[in-house]
Amino acid sequence: MDAERNSHTIPESHQDLLLDPVYGVLTTMMSDGQPQMSMVWVDYDGRYLLINTILERQKTQNMLANPKVNVLVTDPHDGNRFLEVRGEVAEITQEGAVAHADKQTRLYSEEKQQHFYGDIYPEERREQETRVIVNISPTKITANAVFS
């Protein structure tokens, strides 16, 4: 099945790739036009893809300069099942970012740790960086592929 959607809604059949602990690849554009890719934890709130990161990181600076991004998530059990979302950054917010990082930590950490700061990153890092949530609005969605 090859499904390209211009609808801005993630198909229900693939929402698990965004809600389960499956790593995604976020692609942003550097100022010189080169793509920059980062492994990320991905979340979905029914409208936006959510990426929790740090304001000072290169990927965030890239998104502030150019809001067009791409997120690719591949099913770890079936490489032919994937979700590609082209989109635009709708918002970058600090509101709730640490609590969201904690939520993602509980989902993604093998030991089911409770807190991002203190369990994953040292607590002192919290004061040295600005944690944000990037809300990505889908503009084109591709699910799965058929290879001939």
Q: Are 87 and 134 in contact (CB under 8 A)?
A: no
Mean pLDDT of 20-49: 97
* pTM given for the model: 0.90
Look at residue 7 and tell me whether its pLDDT is greater than 60: no
Examine residue 148 and state whether it is found in any structural domain, yes or no: no
Examine residue 92 and state whether it is found in any structural domain, yes or no: yes
Examine residue 45 and state whether it is found in any structural domain, yes or no: yes
Examine residue 58 and state whether it is found in any structural domain, yes or no: yes
Examine residue 147 and state whether it is found in any structural domain, yes or no: no
Examine residue 141 and state whether it is found in any structural domain, yes or no: no
Identify the band that residue 53 occupies on the pLDDT scale cut at 50, 70 and 90. very high
- Percentage above 70 pLDDT, the chain: 93
Per-residue CA distances from 18 to 41, 54, 66, 96, 138 (Å): 9, 20, 23, 19, 13
Examine residue 143 and state whether it is found in any structural domain, yes or no: no
Select from 144, 141, 147 the least CA-distant residue to 71: 141
Identify the band that residue 8 occupies on the pLDDT scale cut at 50, 70 and 90. confident
The pLDDT score that the predictor gives to residue 2 is 44
Mean pLDDT of the chain: 91
Domains in the chain, number: 1
CATH of the domain at 46: 2.30.110.10
Identity (one letter) of the amino acid at 139? T
- Supply φ then ψ for residue 136, to 5 degrees: -110, 125
Identify the band that residue 148 occupies on the pLDDT scale cut at 50, 70 and 90. very low
How far is 53 from 69, CA to CA, in rounded Å? 15
Alpha helices in 36-76 (DSSP H): 58-65
Identity (one letter) of the amino acid at 87? G
Q: What domain range includes position 19?
A: 3-135
The pLDDT score that the predictor gives to residue 44 is 97
Examine residue 144 and state whether it is found in any structural domain, yes or no: no
